[in-house]
Structures are given as C-alpha cells and as structure tokens.
Structure 1
C-alpha cells in the first residue's frame, strides 16, 4: 500500500480502539474520571485494570464509534483536561508502582481558542515531562492516527509500538501540503515524503515494533495484543529502573 492509502486506513472508524483493548486485556477495570482541576475530558479514557493479578494503569485516546459518540469525545482530540487527567493517573501509577499502558488514536490535540486559553501547550508539555521521569515500566501503542503533540504526549515510553496500518507524524498530510505547497489536495504526495508509516518509522528507529493486522481478525488481534502486552511488561520489569530511564532518555534524544 502507498503511504496515503495507509493514512486513509488509519482514519477508519472501525479500527480497533482503546476500550476494546481494555475490555479484552483486563479481567476487571475501574475507569477514573476528571483532572481534579477543570473537568472530565471524554476523549481520554483511563483507569486501573487487573491483568493476571497484576494491576496496571491504562490511558487511551478514544474516538467515537458513531457521530453522537464522536461529538461527545471530540473526535479523539483531547483538551487540556484530558492531558491533566492522564497526568493524574500516571502520578497515581507511579505512587503504587503500576505499569502504564497508553493507547493512541488522535489526529492531534484540540486546537480551539478555548483549549489555547486553558493551556493546551502547557498540558502537553507537562505530560511529556512527567513521562520522561516515570520509574514504572511504560508502553505506548499507536492504534490509528498518531498526530503531532497530541499523540507524543502519550508516547514518551520505554517502548512504542504501531499497528501495521497506523500513522505517526508531526501533522496531517493535508496540513503538510497546505503549508509547503499551498494545496491540500497534494496530501498523497506529502504522505510519501513525510515518513509517517509504521515501516518508515521502524526503519528510522522512532518506534520499536510493528503489530501486523492483515493476518488477524479483530478478535484475533485483540487476543494477540493482550498476550504481547503482558509479555512486554514482564520483560520490562526485569530491567532496573535506572537502566530503563537511561535507555528511554537516550532513545528520545536521538530524534
């Protein structure tokens, strides 16, 4: 598939989502709400799950499954309250020594004047700073779109995985084409040079692993992901805290 075809696949509404992974992975899950400051952002789903007798914190950016749900969840574009809710849950995970799984599918953070006034830039920066300092094992998985700072605020992790037909980029191909060539219709050409596909980013060592989708039904993919997530957290726990932090720092300093 060419890069723009993958972009279109990544945007499909029927892609595997954070709530489906949570339901399949966890024997029990308690969703937690609110940032204890301004409100509860429905674009961010987070809480504590029990996975094979191990408590883990899961934070996901959730798009809607229909128009009404998308409006409730702001089409997966988190507002400042969403990032501050995620920070609250990460601090809680750090306090109780729980691994953190983040699940990402967003075109980008909410870019409205209201979010700007509420400090969206500071909220994203705060999430990045916090994730860089975490001592618990962390894993981020990009499920569909991984757009700009809205995505990387959830992805400064020990490892970053991408689904085969997902994307991860500084902005959309349409935005790139509009800025560079003043013509958003050139998005397919922009996608080819942006290096935003999973294969491109694995070659560039921006991500650590590609999860193949083509050979799996959704149910099989959920089962496979659950097994691999459990295995990865088990292996990350075997690495000392100091070594994990140094490795994470070195990895992100490279790009």
Structure 2
C-alpha cells in the first residue's frame, strides 16, 4: 500500500497495528486490547485527515497510483459483457481513449473513457491518458453509433489533458474536441458523465458534455492543472497548492458553481482503499441516473441539455 505525504500518521499507526498483531501471532502474549486501541486510534485519525482535505490533497488522491482507472470500472461493472471497439476509421486507434459496448444491469451502454497505465510500460502505451485527435474522433464515432441504435452513453473522465504534441495539433486536436462538444450537446440518447480522477482542460470536455455530470469525491475538474497554473502565474511549480485552492477544482466547488449535478461519495481513504465498494456505488449511481433519463424523448433530452449548458455562468446583477 502506497501512502501520500499527508497520510504519514495513518501509515505510522497501520505499521504499529501490524506489528502488534504479529507479536500476538508469534508469541503467547495477549495483545488483543492493544490492537483494539490502535485500531480505534487509526479509524479516528483517518476520519480526521480525510474530513479536512485541502484542494491539493484531493488532487494528489485523484492521482494515487492504486486508484481504479476506466478499464477497472468497466471490467468490474460490466464483467464479460464488455466488447471494446477500436479506431476512428481515419488515422489510428488511440490507446489513451477506450470505448465499447457493455451491459450494466440489464441495460446496454456505450461506455467511453480515458485510460491511464499502471506502470512505466503501460503508461507509455496509453500515452499517460492523454488522447490524440483520433481518440476524440473514435469517441465521437462510438457515440454516433450509440445514437443510431438508441443506446445510452456513459463516459469516464480521467486525463491530465489532451495530448499537446505538435503532431496532435497538426491533425486537428482543437477541432476534434470542439466537434465532440457540439455533437454531444445534440445527441438524441441519454449521456451520463463521471469524472473518476483528473478532469483537466479541453481533454476532459471532449467527452464531458452530458445530461448528468457527476464527480467522485476525490476527483478534480478544471481548465488547467494546479502545476501548470502555478508555472504560468508564478513561473514556478512551488505555488501549486495555492493554485489548487484558487482554481476551485474540487467536487464540492464544482457542485456549488453548478458545473456538475452531483458528487459520488468514495470509501474512507479514497476509491483505491476499497475498490469493490467504489465499483458497487458507481454501478448503482449509473443505473439510477439512467432511470431518471430513459423516459425523456430525444427532443426533451437535447432541449434540457442545451438549457443546462446555456445557463452556466449566467448571473443576475
């Protein structure tokens, strides 16, 4: 188990607990009471730390190496029913963007999301979750196919941003994202969006327009990452914590600003601390969201979606 810097007190108590339990197993000494006391202290310390997380600490949790990624959720929620579909029918098959058909409960969905890697080799293979234009065009192709066959769409956002390389710009990165945004506003099927980790810039928006937009408790959603914001404003990454606070990028901030519709609670310690609980929670939320949307006509879906995004940022003086 990997611990973040602010989780040091939890790590220390966990090690004490493990040692105490090991002594009890290896000797005749009764350490039951000691273990219970440490366990109680560990539980209260966890509650105290995770109850008062700063914006930067939530960013760190969203990047935790053990945090579930898009394919983890798909495999857990859909099981063997998921069929991955490949290619944009134009340039290539972008490994940073995955998508395909799968069943959640008794309902078929077109599921699309950014995928990061688990180690150095797979991170390079997945381009660190940063999609090229062909990734966004693949996503759009799948969404249009879903519309054709009246299949609802679910997207999982987890990206540090769209790939910023020269070749991506040459192939029309900005146009591909802009095209996705306009096409998603008028899709005639329900669209459910979940930010499961990082939701940065246009890379997130390229698959982020939906009837229901939700964030996991320890995910973030912003126009720029805290590090890049800090480097622009202060010419250094040293102010990333300050930038994270100023950007209002947490799920709570996004909910207050009406950028998202709801927050999905994570297990204590983050999604990685109890994966099965997180998978079960997300599956339930997706099914409930679809129940709310499935009886709306295509016209109603598009009108409500357009109205929702048109009203963002509007205020009365």
How would you bin the TM-score normalised by the shorter chain? Answer: over 0.9
Name the counterpart of 1:39. 92
Name the counterpart of 1:3. 55
CA distance in 1, matches of 2:242, 2:59: 12
Tell me the number of residue pairs that the alignment of Structure 1 and Structure 2 aligns: 255
The SS at the match of 2:82 is strand
CA distance in 1, matches of 2:107, 2:249: 34
Name the counterpart of 1:110. 163
The SS at the match of 1:105 is strand
Rg (Cα) greater in structure: 2
Deviation at 1:175?
A: 1.2
Matches of residues 1-255 of structure 1 in structure 2 within 5 Å? Answer: 1-27=53-79, 28-215=81-268, 217-253=274-310, 254-255=312-313
The SS at the match of 1:26 is helix
TM-score by length of 1: 0.97
Residue 104 of structure 2 contacts residue 283 of structure 2 at CA under 8 Å; is this kept in 1? no
Moved over 3 A (4+): none
TM-score by length of 2: 0.78
Higher relative contact order (CA 8 A, sep 6+): 1
Deviation at 1:115?
A: 0.4
Deviation at 1:83?
A: 0.4
Deviation at 1:133?
A: 1.0
Q: Structure 2: any 5+ residue segments left out of the alignment?
A: 1-52
The SS at the match of 1:36 is coil
155-164 or 244-253: which moved more? Answer: 244-253
154-163 or 240-249: which moved more? Answer: 240-249
Deviation at 1:188?
A: 0.6
CA distance in 2, matches of 1:14, 1:219: 13
CA distance in 2, matches of 1:14, 1:126: 33
CA distance in 2, matches of 1:52, 1:108: 31
Deviation at 1:153?
A: 1.0
Deviation at 1:242?
A: 2.3
CA distance in 2, matches of 1:108, 1:72: 16
Structure richer in strand, relative to its length: 1
The SS at the match of 1:162 is strand
CA distance in 1, matches of 2:107, 2:228: 42
Structure richer in helix, relative to its length: 2
Q: Structure 1: any 5+ residue segments left out of the alignment?
A: none
CA distance in 1, matches of 2:162, 2:130: 5
